[in-house]
């Protein structure tokens, strides 16, 4: 799970776009444990790819996920068809 994912969840909780039934840290840690997730930090190569991405998708969190998928050569789990404009594999 990308750092961008739990960062975006935290923002959505703060602005009341998402309500959790448990504290944020418990929610994230439970998801990590339940789904055997590995945390993917945001690194310089990920940010560097952002400087080359066309603006098919303007959401900064999604753009970071796309960059990470490109650098790490991993698929993205998303229902957002806008991801398909990039050279990545989208699952869902």
Per-residue pLDDT tens digits for 19-43: 999 999 999 999 999 999 999 999 9
What integer pLDDT is reported at residue 57 of this predicted model? 83
What is the structure's pLDDT at 10? 97
Is pLDDT at 58 greater than 90 in this prediction?
A: no
pLDDT tens sequence across 69-88: 999 999 999 999 999 999 99
The CA-based angle 75-78-83, given to 5 degrees, is 75
pTM: 0.89
């Amino acid at each position: 799970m990308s750092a961008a994912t739990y960062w975006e969840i935290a923002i959505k909780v703060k602005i009341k776009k998402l309500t959790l039934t448990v504290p944020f840290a418990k929610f994230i840690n439970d998801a990590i444990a339940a789904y055997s997730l590995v945390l993917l930090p945001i690194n310089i190569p990920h940010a560097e790819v952002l400087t080359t991405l066309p603006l098919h998708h303007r959401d900064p969190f999604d753009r970071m996920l796309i960059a990470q998928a490109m650098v790490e050569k991993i698929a993205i789990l998303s229902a957002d068809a806008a991801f398909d404009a990039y050279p990545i594999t989208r699952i869902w």
